[in-house]
Amino acid sequence: MVEQQQQVGIRVEALSAPFQAQAQHWAERLGLPLVDEQAEFAVQFGGDGLQIQQLGPQAPGPVRVDFVEGQAAHRRLFGGGNGQMIAKAVGIAQGIRPQVLDATAGLGKDAFVLASLGCQVTLIERQPLIAALLEDGLVRGRLDAEVAPIVERMRLLTGNAIEHLRNWQGEPPQVIYLDPMFPHRDKSALVKKEMRVFRPLVGDDLDAPALLAAALQLASHRVVVKRPRKAPIIDGAKPSHSIDGKSSRYDIYPKKTLKA
């Protein structure tokens, strides 16, 4: 992922006076200023936790991680359980809940689905601002009685995923899950608020082939790559098969059969 944080003006701000101390804390953690009149983005702290707001008259609303309400809650309650494509892709079945490493965690949506289905999930996010949103979302998730047992199955690592994979200590993950950003110019892909905010901050995953190679080296049972349905496969090893949906697909790279 091309590191772009220093190329985009970003400030930290409290949404109201009682949250000034938390804003100061995050400014120091992230190495960002509290005052920058030219900033294009603001990392904001308020009653709903941490969020990123693109600034300007045509900017979309804020982006934050919320595992308790909204889309995460709806998918947890009505998402289809083990019948979801992602569940089939990682190998969830009767008596099988693989240990999963999500090496491109983003806002943690897919990792949360897998954890809600019973998987132990390790998340890696290398963009510091997005990692901060994830950390904040996990902290708030632990305060909710229904969500707390799910987020307890989620462990967050920060930093470069390829380096983490190459220097992995201990038992390797059974399944490594990848959902890289890539150069995709279809305007429909930019409709989502998250995409409009993420693109200037994180760029494209130009090292996706190296990430796939490192994942195949480490995973004990399989690697799964999520792609837009019509996108080419990542350069390198070829998947054995794919699971296709309406807008996306999952390319499967098997190494060993998952067993109960």
Binding positions for S-adenosyl-L-methionine: 125-126, 179
159 backbone dihedrals φ, ψ, rounded to 5°: 115, -175
Calpha distance 152→154 (Å, rounded): 5
What sections of the chain are H helices per DSSP? 20-30, 70-78, 85-90, 109-116, 128-141, 148-151, 161-166, 193-202, 208-218
DSSP-derived secondary structure letter, 96: B
Q: How far is CA 93 from CA 179, 189, 240, 259, 260, in A?
A: 22, 31, 19, 9, 8
Helix (H) or strand (E) holding 175: strand 175-178
Residue type (1 letter), 202: V
Calpha distance 184→230 (Å, rounded): 11
DSSP-derived secondary structure letter, 6: G
Which of 243, 225, 228, 248 has the alpha carbon at shortest distance from 104?
225
Return the structure tokens found at 156. Answer: 């967050």
In three-state secondary structure terms, 178 is strand
Contact 12, 26 (CB under 8 A): yes
List, as residue ranges, the binding site.
125-126, 179
Displacement of CA 116 from its chain's centroid (Å): 15
